[in-house]
Structure 1
Amino acid sequence: MNVTVVAGNPKPASRTLDAATRVAEAVGGQAPHSVIDVITLGSGLLGWGDAEVSAAVKTVAGSDLVVFASPTFKATYSGVLKLFLDQFATGDGLKGVVAVPLMLGAGPGHALAPDLLLKPVLVELGATTPAPGLYLIDSTFTEDTRIADYARRWAPVLKAARV
């Protein structure tokens, strides 16, 4: 299974990237094949046709499973992730991709954000999202069992949903 991580945090090498990589490993059973730290794509995200951004889009679109991760900003996903998602065609840009919406935050107040805000845009782009999104507390995800619990419950569903 070809697994990719997409981390949309304004800081490179963020906790968001770490959490997404851990989720991808737990669900996929191995390290992800590709990791895209969106902020490193720089100003190419602001237009169309940038070679590095196009390559990242192609990598994501060709993946079986993608963990799309963002910190919670103003109760929603980051603008950096939005800029990247805007590069995909509506309706079929993520056709054939099984997606896991993942968001991190400081407290439980936005626990529904992955399902209410990130999941709909992934579906609009054509992704299959058969499992609920995952919300992690950014200060405790390395110590609690939320990622392992999620993988134990949902990995079989995510793997079975591959087209």
Structure 2
Amino acid sequence: MTVTVVAGNPKPGSRTLAAAGQLAEQIIGAPADHLVDVVTLGPGLLGWGDEGVAAAVKTVQGSELVIVASPTFKATYSGVLKLFLDQFATGDGLAGVVAVPLMLGAGPAHALAPELLLKPVLVELGATVPVQGLYLNQESWQDPESSAAWLEKWRLVIQSLR
């Protein structure tokens, strides 16, 4: 299974990227094959035709499982992630890709953000999103207990899609 982590945090090498990588490893038992730290794609995200952005899009489209992660900004996903997702065609840009929405935030007030805001855009782009999105506290995401219940419920569902 080809697995890619996409992290849309405005800071390179963020805890969002680390949390998504950790989740991928918890799901499949190995590190992700590819990491797309969206902010490192730079100004090419502001238009179309940038080679680096096109390569990242192709990597995501060639994946079987993609963990799409963002910090919570103003109760939604980040603008840099939005710029990256705009590079995919509506309807079939993520066809054949299983996606898992993941968001980190400061507290429980936005716990439904992955499900209400990130999941619908992934589905609009053609991804299959067979599980609930995961919301993790930005201070405790490293604690295995923070995702244990979610993994117990959804890991086998995702693994069965191989």
Are the counterparts in 2 of residues 128 and 161 from structure 1 also a CA contact under 8 Å? no
Shift of 1:63: 0.2
Shift of 1:141: 1.0
Instruction: Report the residue type matching 1:50 in the other structure.
Output: D
Are the counterparts in 2 of residues 97 and 127 from structure 1 also a CA contact under 8 Å? yes
Instruction: Report the residue type matching 2:52 in the other structure.
Output: E
Aligned to 2:55: 55
Aligned to 1:158: 158
Matches of 1:134 and 1:39 in 2, distance apart?
22
Q: Aligned pair 1:39/2:29, yes or no?
A: no
Q: Aligned pair 1:21/2:29, yes or no?
A: no
Structure 1 residues 1-163: aligned runs within 5 Å = 1-162=1-162
Give percent identity, aligned residues only: 67
Matches of 1:141 and 1:117 in 2, distance apart?
20
Matches of 1:34 and 1:151 in 2, distance apart?
21
Secondary structure of the residue aligned to 1:74 is coil
Instruction: Report the residue type matching 2:45 in the other structure.
Output: L
Structure 2 residues without counterparts, runs of 5 or longer: none
Residues 42-61 of structure 1: CA distance to partner in whole angstroms, max 9, x if unpaired? 00000001000000000000
Secondary structure of the residue aligned to 1:126 is coil
Matches of 1:110 and 1:14 in 2, distance apart?
20
Residues paired across the two proteins, number: 162
Runs of 4+ more than 6 Å apart: none
Structure 1 residues without counterparts, runs of 5 or longer: none
Are the counterparts in 2 of residues 64 and 98 from structure 1 also a CA contact under 8 Å? yes
Shift of 1:144: 4.6
Secondary structure of the residue aligned to 1:104 is strand
Instruction: Report the residue type matching 1:46 in the other structure.
Output: L
Shift of 1:156: 1.3
